[in-house]
């Protein structure tokens, strides 16, 4: 059915001509118009090949000269989420064949590659080599299908786009590459040098065409395009027709074809050689675009470039915390406060005031430990700092917020002066007060640490500028008693690499465990705050050892607490717990940068007594 065809000129030759190249629009939009809404749309390449061919031909008849294969979501890592990982070659090669058969020498065919749909480590779980292999597999099929050009589009992460470029050059070094980055709908970001920085990175990869697609409408696309133009590389511009309205989960685009066409014409005049639209772009939109740009002069208008802020601002937002300034300079002390249920913070404020009076450097505020409902750790920290004047280490769990919410939360925390953040993955909701609530985990603690580290460099997780450099002291957790100490060390190494300054350990009760752990992580440049729980009774020791995950109390320690409890009751056991903690810390304090005490049952006096005896 599918025969090999070729156009009279090559794609690169056509690119040098004086008239713009119009792409087709959204196959998904045209499928939806016909009542086909299955995702990913590339599955219709095999199930409804004639329908896809008809859509391609309709776009071409409307004036499209570059047909995009229906393969944007057809990489293995995306298809396997829908149970079609074994269809990669079939779906991609067939996608190119269908477009070529529709083209019949009247149009070029672009083999389309999109992102895998998940973030790379450490932000997400995607290993870079796995992503590269997925792109190699997909591009092999597209090249075998006879694509005239490869179009890499809709990439949010520039690093992932660069991986795709490298895969394309490895598989098909002679095929031209169009590399496109998707930008957010954010005028403040687009007015900075960030788009120009991205353009330069793409140019340095040696691609044939650079550009942007999706997300922003035609007017916002102009802000991006003017930055891309400065590099002199041919440009491709494919905005969405506008911002959709969601009605019952369906995207409704209101932009009329005439409006979109005139806006796209201005993109040609600003320098775009390849133009079209993405989200919501129907055959009617493409027809209007083709008519509007027929006589448009490429690059006839040079829009003014105004950069409001540098992508990597030198300005620091405020000053570092005292806790951060003292790391490595003195043996720091912190105590965890017991966060109560409800609205009454009197015990928190009283405990913080008592600890400040007794020389404790900072207090730890947990974030819904054990997935229990408690007031926001950021809110409590701000209140304590404002009313008591002691610095807080606000724990922040990844369980309850997606990556947008987490970043919003820490930006707000910084604005309120809460700059010591301890990133934790968080306990799953099913063990807590609301077992049917959703655990988010867009990122784990390493991803959150990366976000904080990026903000300290003046960027968000995607590299967008935030207007200045934050001054976060980034803390993380570690477990010296972990069953798999090698894995624990690897994770701590990654946390340090992503920007963590200090690690707060899970409770340790003996010198042997601590020494073994410190020896294993001696190559990692990070400060250690040693976690210690002063044991209060035999029952307390048994509960921690047997019922709390990750907790290990040596037999000899539990034996001493049991003996004291049996001989002198609760008071004797408590005294023995304090003695054990003091003896341990006297041996350990030369090996660590600070002490993190977790006294039971709001017995903050135990923490103070221990510190005073060191």
Task: Say which CATH number the domain at 197 has.
Answer: 3.20.20.330
User: In terms of domains, do 131 and 215 share one?
Assistant: yes
Confidence class for position 304, pLDDT limits 50, 70, 90: low
- Domain for residue 302, yes or no? no
Residue 605 CA to residue 486 CA, distance in Å, equals 36
What is the mean pLDDT of the segment spanning 406-428? 95
Query: What one-character-per-residue DSSP string does 487-531 give?
Result: HHHHHHHHHHHTT--EEEEPP---HHHHHHHHHHTTTS--EEEEE
Q: Is the pLDDT of residue 1 over 50?
A: no
Domain limits for position 423: 322-613
- Domain for residue 116, yes or no? yes
User: In terms of domains, do 274 and 357 share one?
Assistant: no
In angstroms, how far apart are the furthest CA atoms of the chain? 98
User: In terms of domains, do 280 and 411 share one?
Assistant: no
Alpha-helix runs per DSSP H in 214-345: 218-228, 257-269, 283-293, 322-326
What's the pLDDT tens digit per position in 25-80? 999 999 988 989 888 999 999 999 999 999 999 999 999 999 999 999 999 999 99
Cβ(375)–Cβ(339) below 8 Å: yes
Residue 42 CA to residue 155 CA, distance in Å, equals 18
- Domain for residue 7, yes or no? no
- Sequence-separated contacts (24+) of 510-515 with Cβ below 8 Å: 510/554, 510/556, 510/557, 510/584, 511/584, 511/587, 511/588, 512/554, 513/480, 513/481, 513/552, 513/554, 514/480, 514/588, 514/591, 514/592, 515/591
Confidence class for position 614, pLDDT limits 50, 70, 90: confident
User: In terms of domains, do 348 and 467 share one?
Assistant: yes
Model pTM score: 0.78
CB atoms inside a 10 Å sphere around CB 524: 19
- Domain for residue 304, yes or no? no
CATH code of the domain covering residue 367:
3.20.20.220
What length does the chain have?
614
- How many separate helices (H) and strands (E) can be counted in the chain? 23, 18
User: In terms of domains, do 102 and 238 share one?
Assistant: yes
Q: Is the pLDDT of residue 184 over 80?
A: no
- Domain for residue 316, yes or no? no
Burial of 354 (0-12, 13-18, 19+ CB in 10 A): middle
Q: Of 321, 336, 352, 351, nearest to 529 (Cα)?
A: 336
Question: Rounded to the nearest 10 degrees, what angle do helices 485-497 and 511-520 cross at?
Answer: 60
User: In terms of domains, do 466 and 607 share one?
Assistant: yes
Cβ(397)–Cβ(426) below 8 Å: yes
User: In terms of domains, do 265 and 327 share one?
Assistant: no
User: Which of 14-18, 325-329, 387-391, 439-443 shows the lowest per-residue confidence on average (mean pLDDT)?
Assistant: 439-443
pLDDT at residue 218 in the model:
83
Of 293, 308, 338, which residue constitutes the final position of a domain? Answer: 293
Angle at 112 between CA 106 and CA 118, to 5 degrees: 165
Residue 575 CA to residue 562 CA, distance in Å, equals 12
What is the mean pLDDT of the segment spanning 200-217? 92
Instruction: Give the count of domains, the chain.
Output: 2
User: In terms of domains, do 464 and 571 share one?
Assistant: yes
Helix (H) or strand (E) holding 477: strand 473-478
Cβ(285)–Cβ(277) below 8 Å: yes
Cβ(552)–Cβ(481) below 8 Å: yes
Of 240, 273, 293, which residue constitutes the final position of a domain? Answer: 293
Determine the straight-line distance between the first and last CA of the chain, rounded to whole angstroms. 84
> What are the start-end ranges of the E strands in 512-612?
527-532, 594-597
User: In terms of domains, do 608 and 485 share one?
Assistant: yes
User: In terms of domains, do 396 and 464 share one?
Assistant: yes
Cβ(573)–Cβ(312) below 8 Å: no
pLDDT at residue 6 in the model:
43
What's the pLDDT tens digit per position in 423-469? 999 988 887 888 888 888 888 999 999 999 999 999 998 888 888 99
Residue 21 CA to residue 108 CA, distance in Å, equals 10
- Domain for residue 96, yes or no? yes
What is the mean pLDDT of the segment spanning 522-539? 96
CB atoms inside a 10 Å sphere around CB 522: 8
Q: What values do phi and psi take at 209, rounded to 5?
A: -140, 140
pLDDT at residue 7 in the model:
44
pLDDT at residue 249 in the model:
61
pLDDT higher for 366 or 214?
Answer: 366
Alpha-helix runs per DSSP H in 363-484: 377-387, 403-415, 445-455
The partner residues of 151 in beta bridges, in order of sequence, read: 112, 178
User: In terms of domains, do 270 and 344 share one?
Assistant: no
Token pair belonging to 564: 């004291």
- Domain for residue 83, yes or no? yes
Q: Of 556, 515, 551, nearest to 533 (Cα)?
A: 551
CB atoms inside a 10 Å sphere around CB 9: 12
Token pair belonging to 540: 């307390």
Mean pLDDT score across all residues of the chain: 91
Cβ(512)–Cβ(518) below 8 Å: no
What's the pLDDT tens digit per position in 239-258? 998 776 666 666 677 789 99
User: In terms of domains, do 282 and 346 share one?
Assistant: no
Of 293, 312, 345, which residue constitutes the final position of a domain? Answer: 293
What is the mean pLDDT of the segment spanning 331-338? 96
CB atoms inside a 10 Å sphere around CB 559: 12
pLDDT at residue 368 in the model:
85
CB atoms inside a 10 Å sphere around CB 232: 8
Handedness of CA 195, 198, 199, 200 (dihedral sign): positive
- Domain for residue 313, yes or no? no
Peptide bond into 122 cis (omega under 30): yes
The partner residues of 504 in beta bridges, in order of sequence, read: 477, 529
Give 132's Cβ-side CA count (13 Å radius).
Answer: 12
Question: What is the b/e burial string over 167-189, where b = at least 16 CB atoms within 10 angstroms of the residue's CB?
Answer: bbbebbeebbbbbbbbbeeeeeb
What's the pLDDT tens digit per position in 265-301? 999 999 999 999 999 999 999 999 999 999 999 988 7
Give the SS3 label for residue 578.
helix
CB atoms inside a 10 Å sphere around CB 96: 27
Q: Is the pLDDT of residue 191 over 80?
A: no
């Amino acid at each position: 059915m599918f025969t090999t065809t070729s156009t009279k000129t090559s794609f690169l030759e056509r690119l040098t001509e004086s008239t713009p190249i119009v792409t087709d629009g959204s196959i998904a939009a045209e499928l939806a118009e016909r009542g086909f809404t299955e995702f990913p749309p590339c599955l219709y390449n095999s199930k409804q090949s004639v329908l896809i061919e008809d859509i391609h031909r309709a776009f071409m008849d409307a004036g499209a000269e570059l047909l995009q294969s229906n393969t944007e979501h057809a990489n293995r890592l995306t298809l396997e989420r829908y149970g079609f990982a074994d269809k990669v070659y079939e779906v991609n090669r067939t996608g190119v064949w269908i477009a070529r058969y529709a083209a019949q020498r009247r149009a070029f065919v672009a083999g389309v590659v999109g992102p895998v749909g998940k973030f790379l480590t450490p932000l997400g779980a995607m290993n870079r080599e796995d992503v590269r292999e997925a792109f190699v597999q997909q591009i092999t099929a597209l090249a075998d299908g006879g694509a005239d050009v490869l179009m890499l589009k809709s990439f949010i992460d520039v690093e992932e786009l660069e991986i795709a470029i490298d895969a394309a050059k490895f598989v098909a070094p002679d095929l031209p590459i169009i590399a496109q980055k998707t930008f957010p709908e954010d005028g403040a970001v687009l007015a900075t040098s960030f788009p120009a920085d991205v353009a330069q990175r793409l140019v340095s990869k040696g691609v044939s065409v650079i550009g942007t697609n999706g997300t922003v409408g035609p007017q916002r696309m102009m802000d991006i395009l003017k930055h891309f133009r400065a590099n002199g590389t041919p440009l491709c511009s494919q905005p969405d027709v506008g911002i959709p309205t969601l009605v019952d989960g369906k995207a409704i685009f209101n932009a009329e074809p005439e409006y979109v066409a005139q806006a796209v014409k201005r993109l040609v005049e600003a320098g775009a050689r390849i133009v079209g639209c993405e989200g919501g772009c129907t055959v009617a939109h493409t027809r209007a675009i083709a008519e509007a740009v027929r006589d448009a002069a490429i690059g006839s208008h040079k829009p003014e470039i105004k950069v409001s802020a540098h992508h990597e601002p030198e300005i620091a937002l405020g000053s570092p915390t005292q806790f951060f300034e003292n790391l490595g300079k003195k043996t720091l002390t912190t105590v965890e406060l017991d966060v109560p249920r409800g609205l009454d913070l009197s015990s928190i404020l009283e405990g913080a005031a008592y600890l400040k009076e007794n020389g404790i450097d900072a207090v730890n505020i947990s974030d819904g430990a054990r997935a229990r409902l408690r007031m926001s750790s950021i809110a409590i920290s701000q209140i304590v700092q404002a009313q008591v004047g002691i610095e807080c280490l606000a724990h922040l769990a990844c369980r309850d917020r997606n990556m947008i919410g987490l970043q919003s939360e820490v930006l707000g925390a910084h604005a309120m002066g809460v700059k010591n953040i301890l990133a934790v993955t968080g306990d799953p909701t099913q063990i807590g007060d609301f077992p049917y609530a959703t655990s988010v985990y867009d990122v784990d603690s390493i991803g959150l640490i990366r976000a904080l580290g990026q903000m300290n460099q003046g960027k968000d997780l995607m590299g967008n500028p935030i207007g200045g450099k934050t001054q976060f002291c980034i803390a993380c957790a570690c477990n010296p008693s972990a069953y798999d100490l090698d894995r624990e060390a690897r994770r701590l190494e990654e946390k340090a690499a992503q920007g963590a300054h200090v690690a707060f350990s899970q409770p340790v009760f003996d010198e042997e465990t601590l020494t073994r752990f410190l020896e294993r992580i001696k190559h990692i440049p990070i400060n250690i705050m040693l976690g210690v729980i002063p044991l209060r009774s035999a029952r307390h020791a048994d509960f921690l050892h047997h019922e709390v995950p990750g907790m290990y109390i040596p037999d000899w320690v539990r034996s001493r607490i049991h003996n004291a409890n049996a001989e002198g009751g609760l008071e004797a056991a408590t005294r023995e717990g304090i003695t054990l903690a003091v003896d341990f810390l006297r041996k350990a304090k030369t090996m660590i940068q600070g002490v993190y005490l977790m006294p039971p049952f709001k017995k903050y006096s135990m923490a103070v007594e221990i510190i005073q005896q060191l």
